């Protein structure tokens, strides 16, 4: 049981390049989330999904797109990377209706945009 995994662990992009971050969970969770973590700002919600085929905007969605084609995967896309998107990205998952509201986090992806 790997829990929540994220690919890649680290990536360097040039301004204007695109990339996709992959999150996978093997806990059969309904909800999945993408956060970014910046120094002194805690974690901020980018987008989230309450089920396969559904997505919704969080607090800071601009410049990002997401897709949840399979229940176990949640993809975060950057179409045209900007230096302001340099951050550590965390994926999380849970199933609130199950009675356990704990969000389980992945190990993070560190992204540097030059």
Q: Which residues bind other proteins (CB under 8 A)?
A: 4, 31, 40-45, 48, 50, 58-59, 90, 92, 94, 96-97, 101-103, 105-108
State the minimum distance, in angstroms, from the CB of residue 18 to other proteins.
25
As to burial, measured by CB atoms within 10 angstroms (0-12 exposed, 13-18 middle, 19+ buried), residue 59 is exposed
The angle at the Cα of 27, spanning 25 to 29, to the nearest 5 degrees, equals: 85
d(CA 82, CA 69): 26
Q: Which is nearer to other proteins, 46 or 78 (CB)?
A: 46
Q: Which is nearer to other proteins, 106 or 111 (CB)?
A: 106
Both structure tokens of 112: 């540097």
State the minimum distance, in angstroms, from the CB of residue 40 to other proteins.
6
């Amino acid at each position: 049981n790997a829990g929540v995994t994220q690919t890649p662990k680290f990536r360097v992009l040039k301004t204007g390049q695109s990339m996709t971050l992959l999150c996978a969970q093997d806990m059969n969770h309904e909800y999945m989330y993408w956060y970014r973590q910046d120094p002194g700002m805690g974690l901020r919600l980018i987008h989230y999904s309450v089920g396969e085929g559904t997505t919704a905007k969080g607090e800071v969605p601009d410049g990002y797109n997401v897709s949840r084609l399979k229940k176990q995967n949640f993809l975060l896309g950057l179409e045209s990377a900007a230096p302001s998107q340099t951050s550590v990205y965390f994926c999380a998952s849970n199933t609130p209706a199950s009675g356990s509201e704990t969000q389980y986090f992945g190990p993070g992806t560190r992204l540097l945009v030059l």
